[in-house]
Amino acid sequence: MHNPLLERPLSLYSNGQFIAGEGEDITVYDPSNATPITTLKAASAIQVEQAITAANKAFPAWCALGGPKRAEYLRRIAQALEQRRERLINVQMRNNGKPQFEADLDVSDAIATFNYYAEQAEQLETRQNTPFSLPDPYYQGQTRLEPVGAVGMIVPWNFPLVTSAWKIAPALAAGCTIVLKTSEYTPLAELVYADIAQEIELPQGVLNILTGAASTGIALTQSKKLAKLSFTGSNQVGSRVMQSAAERCQPVSLELGGKSAILVFKDAPVEQAVEQIVAGIFFNCGQMCSATSRLLVERSFAQQLIPALVERTRHLKVGSPFTEGVEMGPLSNLPQYQKVTRLLKQAQHDGLECLVGGEVNKSQTGWFVPPTIYDHIDRQHPFWREEIFGPVLVITYFDTEDEAIELANDSDYGLVATILSADLERAQRVANQIWAGHIWINSLQIIFPQTAWGGFKGSGIGRELGPWGLSAYLGVKHISIYDTQG
């Protein structure tokens, strides 16, 4: 199908207009065959400042517009996404390498997020000037929730349409204006938000979208004119974002990495457990901060579960997103492919026990890595401790509930966890003792806009989604009134 969303002669959207970038060339690839789709121009440092100026200029009027009016724009964005569904699915299949069912889920997630925050924008008005009592009868207290201002955003390449929605929707609902930098690897889906902003006549400067790589991101994070930074990506880059913000004591929200556990108790149904393990690590080719890449199995259950898991993994259909029935596509970009293939070679050097996968088919065109499982991994090995961000699962075993909890918490991260057990009372008890921001019990990784997203420890600062996502873009204003009438 011909898809105009793949053609971008003008790669920046600033102050309500599409303009040509003046920075470096960025070549966008199809990861299933490693061929270029298009070349875009990145935003220069001057263009970043111009977009920030536009966002600050637009802020007072957008803030004053009120929640109900902002909600109307959010719903129109959701409608415009739905109207572009087929083309957006195609863009993500071409630019991300996502199988069709995954790309379709991403569109639905983005639509649901904008509709949810339209409701939140409407309800925000009812929360203003909320009274509360004070111990002195001559004083009255009130609170208001005010948008923080113009916000800089940097989003990753693994879920470009979704992570952008998770930031744009609550920020607009709160009354903030936005300068968003796309990933250099997957800018095509995110630029659709610019198309929609222009189509629905979103006021100029409210939403600015810049294509760019590291230099564009540095210019964004170093600006003194932004009220806040919101970043999703690796811990390495997140640390630099935080350091830059710290120079100005600038607030930040960081959604970073994970090395999450999936705990399987012996009373879990084998077939259900296998499907949930596979989905937790091989969905999106394992390129998920929430990937449950550490499998913890009750030892007495291993002989039933592991052979079934290996058999299912061996027959997982890997290939181009445009191949009928494909279940896992390629890694989304060359640097990630090079990183994961290097780690697979390291595993061979270290003598890890590989149950399936482990070797890349070098004759295959595109950035494909086989679904891979390693057994009996030592807790000090990097594969246990470090995020791989690819389709690589490691297994260890436990004998008691307490040991399972201790193993799950043995991580520098605390983003998510999954617990599989027919004993819901035990599953709940275990969930209460795992340090992670989101825990699923007997469930696939379903994420509703109403839920919280974010983690403990090295997995970041703050929360996205739900009312907590809205609060991330709001400041609390307290008003104290002295009344001599008492």
- pLDDT tens by residue, 205-239: 999 999 999 999 999 999 999 999 999 999 999 99
Helices then strands, each counted (H, E), the chain: 15, 22
Cβ burial of 348 (10 Å; 0-12, 13-18, 19+) is exposed
Q: Which two tokens stand for residue 329?
A: 């596509």
Is 255 an active-site residue? yes
Residue 484 — very low, low, confident or very high, per pLDDT cuts 50/70/90?
confident
The two beta strands, 416-420 and 261-264, are parallel
Residue 16 — very low, low, confident or very high, per pLDDT cuts 50/70/90?
very high
CB 202 within 8 A of CB 73: yes
pLDDT recorded at residue 483: 86
Average pLDDT over residues 380-394: 97
Cα→Cα distances 257→241, 288, 389, 456, 460, Å: 14, 8, 9, 10, 8
- Location of each CATH 3.40.605.10 domain in the chain: 4-256+460-478
Average pLDDT over residues 271-297: 98
Out of 255, 298, 387, 464, which one is annotated catalytic?
Answer: 255
Is the pLDDT reported for residue 363 higher than 90? no
Q: How far apart are CA 357 and CA 186, in angstroms?
A: 27
Instruction: Give φ, ψ of 203 to 5 degrees.
Output: -50, 145
Mean pLDDT of the chain: 96
Q: How far apart are CA 192 and CA 207, in angstroms?
A: 12
CB 179 within 8 A of CB 51: yes
- Location of each CATH 3.40.309.10 domain in the chain: 261-448
Is the pLDDT reported for residue 486 higher than 80? no
Tell the residue number behind the tokens 């989905």, with chain if given: 279
Average pLDDT over residues 58-69: 97
Q: What is the percentage of the chain residues whose pLDDT exceeds 70? A: 100
Q: How far apart are CA 209 and CA 250, in angstroms?
A: 21
Cβ neighbours around 446 below 10 Å, total:
8
Read off the DSSP letter of residue 328.
B
The two beta strands, 261-264 and 294-298, are parallel
Q: Who contacts 116 (Cβ-Cβ below 8 Å, separation ≥6)?
A: 169, 449, 450
Is 249 an active-site residue? no
463, 238, 16, 1 alpha-carbon torsion, rounded to 10°: -90
Homologous superfamily, domain 4-256+460-478: Aldehyde Dehydrogenase; Chain A, domain 1 (3.40.605.10)
In CATH terms, the fold of domain 261-448 is Aldehyde Dehydrogenase; Chain A, domain 2 (3.40.309)
Q: How far apart are CA 102 and CA 389, in angstroms?
A: 17
Q: Identify the three-state secondary structure at position 433.
A: coil
Read off the DSSP letter of residue 43.
P
Out of 122, 184, 285, 289, which one is annotated catalytic?
Answer: 289
- Out of 16-25, 116-125, 129-138, 163-172, which region has the weakest mean confidence (pLDDT)? 129-138
Q: Who contacts 322 (Cβ-Cβ below 8 Å, separation ≥6)?
A: 32, 93
Its pTM stands at 0.96
